């Protein structure tokens, strides 16, 4: 399929802001029709999100999730573990690291579910989604010095029913759940 009538070509760009977690650049691009327009783009490292599934002592499917404060929303958010990839780290390595750091769990099996742009209209990075099985406990969480995170186990049906309602407000967790439901190698009833 020819998509040349949709493709813009970048002419130049200039970084206008840098912080420890992202930078902002203004870019000038030429439209397929020849017009030049300016856009603002946020550059950030790639992220990973892991949907860790366990079977409870009662035989129910449950997710290991994290509850933490989110400064953007000014509220607590119940999420799947995840975070920023470190330089040189593969998405799978980052997923395993974030899972162990935030939940004190190690995955025996990890499966890539997909990769998406968190907001491709203005962001250049990607989020890599995984599911994790065969979880084994580790001695303790290894949180960053600015992380305050509770690791909790929640029935998978409860997570699915409450997605989009506080505290299940993180859109990337919703995307991970959707990918889990449609792509995970293990089927389950919600």
Taking only the tens place, the pLDDT of each residue in 18-73 is 999 999 999 999 999 999 999 999 999 999 999 999 999 999 999 999 999 999 99
Longest pairwise C-alpha distance within the chain: 63
Count the Cβ atoms, other than its own, within 10 Å of residue 152.
13
Count the Cβ atoms, other than its own, within 10 Å of residue 133.
17
Q: How many domains does the chain have?
A: 2
Kindly tell me the burial class for residue 78, based on how many C-beta atoms sit within 10 Å of its own C-beta (0-12, 13-18, 19 or more): buried
Angstrom distance (rounded) from CA 72 to CA 160: 23
Check whether residue 56 and residue 16 sit in a common domain. Answer: no
Check whether residue 58 and residue 30 sit in a common domain. Answer: no
Check whether residue 33 and residue 78 sit in a common domain. Answer: no
Check whether residue 143 and residue 73 sit in a common domain. Answer: yes
User: Parallel, antiparallel, or unpaired for β 61-70 and 127-137?
Assistant: unpaired
The answer as to whether 26 is a domain residue is: yes
What mean pLDDT is reported for the chain?
A: 95
What pLDDT band is residue 183 in, cutting at 50, 70 and 90?
Answer: confident
Average pLDDT of span 82-106: 97
Write out the chain in H/E/C secondary structure. CCCCCCCCEEEEEEEEEECCCCEEEEEEEECCCCCEEEEEEEECCCEEEEEEEEECCCCCEEEEEEEEEECCCCEEEEECCEEECCCCCCHHHHHHHHHHHHHCEEEEEEEEEEEECCCCCCECCCEEEEEEEEEEECCCCCCCCCCCEEEEEEEHHHHHHHCCCCCCCCHHHHHHHHHHHHHCCCCCCC
Average pLDDT of span 93-116: 97
Of 20-34, 48-62, 87-101, 134-148, the least confident:
134-148
Check whether residue 88 and residue 63 sit in a common domain. Answer: yes
Rounded to a whole number, what is the distance in angstroms from the first to the last CA of the chain? Answer: 38
**What pLDDT sits at residue 30?**
97
The answer as to whether 67 is a domain residue is: yes
pLDDT at 184 over 80: no
Check whether residue 35 and residue 70 sit in a common domain. Answer: no
Average pLDDT of span 149-165: 96
The answer as to whether 73 is a domain residue is: yes
Kindly tell me the burial class for residue 178, based on how many C-beta atoms sit within 10 Å of its own C-beta (0-12, 13-18, 19 or more): middle
Check whether residue 85 and residue 173 sit in a common domain. Answer: yes
Check whether residue 114 and residue 55 sit in a common domain. Answer: yes
Check whether residue 16 and residue 79 sit in a common domain. Answer: no
The answer as to whether 4 is a domain residue is: no
CATH number where 68 lies: 3.90.79.10
Whether 128 and 83 have beta carbons less than 8 Å apart is answered as no
Domain that holds residue 39: 9-43
The answer as to whether 189 is a domain residue is: no
């Amino acid at each position: 399929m020819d998509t040349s009538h949709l493709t813009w070509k970048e002419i130049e760009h200039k970084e206008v802001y840098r912080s420890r977690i992202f930078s902002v650049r203004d870019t000038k691009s030429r439209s397929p029709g020849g017009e030049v327009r300016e856009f603002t783009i946020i550059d950030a490292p790639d992220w990973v999100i892991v949907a860790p599934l366990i079977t409870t002592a009662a035989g129910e499917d449950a997710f290991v999730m994290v509850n933490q404060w989110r400064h953007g929303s000014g509220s607590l958010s119940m999420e799947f573990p995840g975070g920023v990839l470190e330089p040189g780290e593969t998405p799978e390595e980052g997923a395993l690291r974030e899972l162990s750091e935030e939940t004190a769990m190690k995955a025996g099996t990890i499966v890539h579910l997909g990769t998406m742009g968190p907001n491709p209209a203005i962001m250049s990075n990607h989020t890599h989604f995984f599911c994790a099985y065969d979880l084994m406990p580790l001695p303790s969480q290894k949180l960053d010095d600015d992380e305050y995170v509770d690791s909790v186990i929640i029935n998978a049906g409860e997570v699915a029913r409450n997605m989009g309602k506080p505290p299940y407000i993180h859109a990337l967790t919703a995307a991970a759940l959707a990918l889990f439901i449609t792509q995970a190698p293990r089927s389950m009833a919600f």
